[in-house]
Amino acid sequence: MNDPQRITTRIHPAASQDGPPKSVETPSHEPHLVALMSVSSGMVGACLTAIGLIGIVKSLNRAENLVDDSLAIATLFFTTAALLSFVGMRTRIGRSWRHLVLTLDIVFCLGMLLTFLAALLLTWVVI
């Protein structure tokens, strides 16, 4: 039912008055794009909060700087994923660029990997 490769039928806007409306079948990735945008936006907030908290308790330690840097880069990945999801939903790029969902998944996973590495550093090196 929630198959990301589900085919939706849309009435082509160029269908004229001569004959029945013509339909175009396109894959619908909109639920996936909405989910990625909302989760990515939340992760941006989580990363920025963590950076702020680390800054409060920070002493001059190289590991803490690495955690900050990892979270800052993860924030960039999550922001990129959120923006690409939004663009994919609001423009024709989402329908014409076949690799949009794969690119979004990779960008999101890179952000999650950096967040995971920052959590490991924060847990075992800093504290």
**Range 78-93 average pLDDT:** 87
pLDDT at residue 76, rounded to an integer: 94
The residue type found at 35 is: A
Where helices occur in 1-127 by DSSP H, the ranges are 30-57, 62-90, 93-96, 100-121
**Range 30-48 average pLDDT:** 85
pLDDT higher than 70, residue 5: no
Q: What percent of the chain has pLDDT over 90?
A: 17
pLDDT higher than 50, residue 12: no
pLDDT at residue 19, rounded to an integer: 53
Contact yes or no for 89/34 (Cβ under 8 A): yes
pLDDT at residue 61, rounded to an integer: 59
Mean of pLDDT over the chain: 76
Per-domain residue ranges of the chain: 29-126
Q: What is the DSSP letter of 5?
A: T
User: In angstroms, rounded to a whole number, what is the distance separating the alpha carbons of residues 88 and 108?
Assistant: 15
Contact yes or no for 104/88 (Cβ under 8 A): yes
Angstrom distances, CA of residue 7 to CA of 50, 95, 102, 105: 40, 12, 18, 20
User: In angstroms, rounded to a whole number, what is the distance separating the alpha carbons of residues 83 and 78?
Assistant: 9
pLDDT at residue 67, rounded to an integer: 83
pLDDT higher than 80, residue 117: yes
